[in-house]
């Protein structure tokens, strides 16, 4: 024993090892829970369940900030944040265990209980089994920490040979547990989750029916031959993704059901995917936009959807829109992960192509985009229309029910606002003087785009050339050939929709019902 280390005070080495012990115990807890969740239900893993709770409790302003700062990586950032916090707590628990061995282990177990409570109280949890992964992880971590701390505290005399041997055992046990947990997690991942396997198989086996009502052919002139404008049809792999799901739900199409019920439903319906596919199949090009899309942003995409008419299905159930005296003005779609999306019944039944879609650009919906079935309604932002992984539709009223985003500060009703975006030249580009194509897209779903104009600096608004219109439900490309002169220039675009209304200049926030304002980019033109 050295003079600087009075008896009973653990040495720095021992404290360091205790911290490592805490981290390893935490890591093993998560890995064990993850492996168990693979078998029970991937969404029941504690980090996902707690993350889901955080997502649900996050105020609109923070969500908006997260999307702005991190875009589609917002979920990865959240999970990383949770892991960092858990790491810090694990170090603290490791050090605590050095003094209060049982209390340290109890703390690890308590985290397991927190994870279990989060997992079973998620809206998509329908079984107490969802508690198992967190509890198993907590128990494994608690036991490991108890054992490891024992090796550190067994001998009061930390400098004796026996104590050194204990520390070696500590390292061996810690490393073996860490490696075993990593190996088990890797094996589980490689083997694939048995819960998910049948979902993937059901998607692979799905044959899309031919449309009785095909989408009108896209006019050849809808895609402008200008480098730098995105494709008219957004490929599935590039299609933006926005949802609250930390783990993408993987629904087995063979077990999928959609229930239609509620106020004004004469005959409650439950349909399978097979039944849906025997109905009149409709194919349409529809541009989908997110309310969180900033002016100039990329949370918008255009796809060819295959599905059935939602209005037809509702009529069959006896539903009438409010204009025909129906009692329900809101349709609440609910997804398998508990999301609720409220859509005006009037718009769904006013003749527009509101779809229950199962196909996207020629393939079954990708899991991330709502497999097996989602809603798509032209002219409404995704959060009030485009429910993915849909499992029920309830007819109710806006007065009686607030869907998920409404208490979080977003409008209950949100038609898409007219928007236009400059895709090329990019912001801060340095084109050479001479001819430069200014080009991009404009959208005002279900109203259509009548005119796009471009302004250079403070000059007059000049008409851009519009690409051929596909339908009023799709975006429209435009191009303005500019003769660029040397120096710094601000390029601005504005669109006028099919009703003759031009985008206002004033920028507004995306909350509560979508951003307004003109998109502009600043470029510096070099000498020709
Ligand atoms: N189940 C579920 N459906 C959802 C959401 C969600 O979080 N959960 N997000 C909505 C939002 S905000 C948008 S913009 C669209 C995005 O659809 P996409 O991810 O296929 O582009 O899905 C909508 N449908
Ligand atoms: Mo959205």
Task: Name the β-bridge partners of 435.
Answer: 483
434 CA distance to ligand 1 centroid (A)? 43
Which residue out of 52, 55, 241, 243 has the highest number of ligand 1 atoms within 8 Å of its CB and is therefore the one to mutate?
A: 243
Q: What are phi and psi of 16, to 5 degrees?
A: -60, -45
The number of the ligand 1 atom at minimal distance from the alpha carbon of 291 is: 14
- CA-proximal residue: ligand 1, atom 13 (nearest): 382
Residues 408 and 414: their CA atoms lie apart, in Å, by 14
For residues 227, 228, 229 and 233, what is the CA-based torsion angle, rounded to 10 degrees? 90
Supply 72's token pair.
Answer: 């589609």
In order of 172, 276, 283, 444, the CA distances from 306 in angstroms are 57, 11, 4, 21
Q: CB neighbours of 126 closer than 8 A, spacing ≥ 6?
A: none
Residue 65 confidence (pLDDT): 82
Q: How many whole angstroms from 467 Cα to the centroid of ligand 1?
A: 28
Six token digits for residue 280: 């009149």
Helix (H, G, I), strand (E, B) or coil at 481: strand
Give the Å distance between the CA of 299 and the centre of ligand 1.
11
* Calculated CA dihedral for residues 448, 451, 454, 459, nearest 10 degrees: -140
What is the Å distance from ligand 2's center to 243 Cα? 7
Distance in Å, CA 206 to ligand 2 centroid: 28
Determine which residue's CA is closest to atom 15 belonging to ligand 1: 382
Structure tokens at 303: 């796809």
pLDDT score for 5: 45
| pLDDT tens digits, 62-96 | 877 887 778 778 888 888 988 999 999 999 999 99
Predicted local distance difference test score (pLDDT) of residue 190: 84
305: tokens are: 């959807």
Beta bridge partner(s), residue 454: 462, 493
Kindly report the backbone phi and psi dihedral angles of residue 358, in degrees, each rounded to the nearest multiple of 5, phi listed first. Answer: -120, -10
Report the nearest-CA residue for atom 7 of ligand 1.
243
> Is there a contact between 419 and 513 (Cβ–Cβ < 8 Å)?
no
> What's the CA-to-centroid distance between 463 and ligand 2, angstroms?
31
Question: What is the β-pairing status of strands 281-289 and 340-344?
Answer: unpaired
pLDDT at 73: 80
Q: Whose CA is nearest to atom 6 of ligand 1?
A: 243
pLDDT of residue 138: 97
Query: What pLDDT, on a 0 to 100 scale, did the predictor assign at position 196?
Result: 78
Tens digit of pLDDT for each residue in 281-318? 999 999 999 999 999 999 999 999 999 999 999 999 99
Length of the chain (residues): 528
Positive or negative, the CA dihedral 238, 242, 245, 250 is negative
Ligand nearest to the CA of 391: 1
Residue 303 contacts by C-beta under 8 Å, 6 or more apart in sequence?
A: 233, 234, 236, 239, 285, 286, 288, 360, 361
**Which ligand 1 atom minimizes the distance to the CA of 239?**
21
- Whole-Å CA distances, 180 to 12, 29, 169, 384: 28, 12, 16, 46
pLDDT at position 446, please?
Answer: 98
CA distances from 464 to 304, 468, 483 (A): 26, 13, 14
Q: Which domains does the chain have, with CATH numbers?
A: 12-192 (no CATH), 220-408 (3.90.420.10), 419-525 (2.60.40.650)
Residues of the chain where predicted confidence (pLDDT) is lower than 70: 1-8, 528
Q: Which atom of ligand 1 is nearest to the CA of 337?
A: 1
pLDDT at 1: 39
Residues lining ligand 1, Cβ inside 6 A: 239-244, 288, 290, 335, 337, 339, 369, 382-383, 386-389
**What pLDDT does residue 455 have?**
98
Nearest atom within ligand 1 for CA of residue 249: 1
Measuring from atom 8 of ligand 1, which residue has the nearest CA?
243
Three-state DSSP at 105 gives helix
Predicted local confidence at residue 318, as pLDDT: 97
| Ligand nearest to the CA of residue 366, numbered in listed order | 1
Gap from CA of 245 to ligand 2 centroid (Å) = 13
Pick from 58, 382, 404 the residue to mutate for probing ligand 1's pocket: most ligand atoms within 8 Å of its CB.
382
> What's the pTM?
0.87
Q: Which ligand is nearest to the CA of 248?
A: 1
Three-state SS annotation for 461-481:
CEECEECCCCCCCCCEEEEEE
- Ligand 1: residue of 383, 384, 416, 511 to mutate (most ligand atoms within 8 A of CB) is 383
């Amino acid at each position: 024993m050295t003079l600087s280390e009075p008896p009973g005070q653990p040495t720095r080495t021992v404290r360091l090892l205790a911290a490592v012990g805490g981290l390893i115990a935490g890591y093993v807890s998560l890995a064990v829970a993850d492996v168990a969740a693979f078998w029970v239900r991937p969404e029941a893993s504690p980090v996902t369940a707690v993350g889901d709770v955080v997502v649900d409790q996050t105020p609109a302003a923070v969500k908006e900030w997260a999307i702005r700062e991190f875009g589609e990586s917002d979920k990865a950032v959240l999970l990383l944040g949770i892991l960092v916090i858990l790491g810090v707590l694990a170090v603290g628990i490791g050090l605590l265990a050095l003094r209060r061995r049982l209390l340290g282990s109890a703390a690890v177990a308590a985290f397991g209980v927190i994870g279990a409570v989060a997992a079973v109280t998620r809206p998509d949890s329908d079984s107490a089994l969802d508690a198992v992964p967190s509890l198993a992880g907590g128990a494994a971590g608690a036991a490991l920490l108890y054992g490891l701390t024992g090796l550190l505290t067994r001998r009061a005399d930390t400098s004796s040979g026996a104590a050194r041997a204990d520390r070696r055992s500590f390292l061996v046990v810690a490393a073996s547990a860490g490696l075993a947990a990593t190996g088990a997690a890797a094996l589980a991942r490689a083997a694939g989750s048995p819960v998910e396997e049948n979902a993937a198989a059901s998607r692979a086996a799905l044959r899309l029916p031919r449309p009785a009502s095909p989408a009108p052919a896209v006019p050849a002139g809808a895609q402008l031959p200008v480098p730098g404008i995105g494709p008219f049809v957004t490929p599935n792999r590039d299609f933006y993704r926005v949802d609250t799901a930390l783990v993408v739900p993987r629904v087995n199409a063979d077990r999928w059901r959609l229930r239609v019920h509620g106020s004004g439903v004469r005959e409650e319906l439950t349909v399978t995917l097979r039944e849906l596919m025997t109905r009149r199949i409709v194919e349409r090009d529809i541009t989908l936009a997110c309310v969180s899309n900033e002016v100039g942003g990329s949370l918008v995409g255009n796809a060819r959807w295959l599905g059935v008419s939602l209005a037809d299905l509702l009529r069959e159930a006896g539903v009438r829109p409010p204009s025909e005296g129906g009692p329900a003005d809101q349709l609440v779609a609910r997804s398998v992960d508990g999301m609720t999306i409220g859509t005006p019944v009037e718009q769904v039944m006013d003749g527009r192509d509101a779809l229950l879609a199962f196909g996207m650009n020629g393939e079954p919906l990708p899991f991330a985009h709502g497999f097996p079935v989602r809603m798509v309604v032209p002219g409404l932002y995704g959060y009030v229309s485009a429910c993915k992984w849909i499992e029920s539709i309830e007819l109710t009223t806006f007065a009686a029910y607030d869907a998920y985003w409404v208490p979080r500060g977003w409008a209950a009703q949100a038609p898409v606002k007219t928007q236009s975006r400059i895709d090329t030249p990019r912001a801060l580009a340095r084109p050479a003087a001479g001819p430069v194509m200014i080009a991009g897209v404009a959208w005002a779903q279900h109203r259509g785009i009548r005119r796009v104009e471009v302004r250079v600096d403070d000059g007059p608004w000049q008409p851009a050339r519009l690409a051929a219109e596909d339908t009023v439900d799709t975006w429209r490309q435009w191009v303005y050939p500019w003769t660029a002169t040397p120096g710094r220039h601000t390029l601005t675009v504005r669109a006028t929709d099919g009703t003759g209304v031009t985008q206002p200049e004033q920028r507004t926030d995306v909350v509560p019902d979508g951003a307004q304002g003109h998109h502009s980019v600043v470029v510096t033109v070099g000498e020709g």
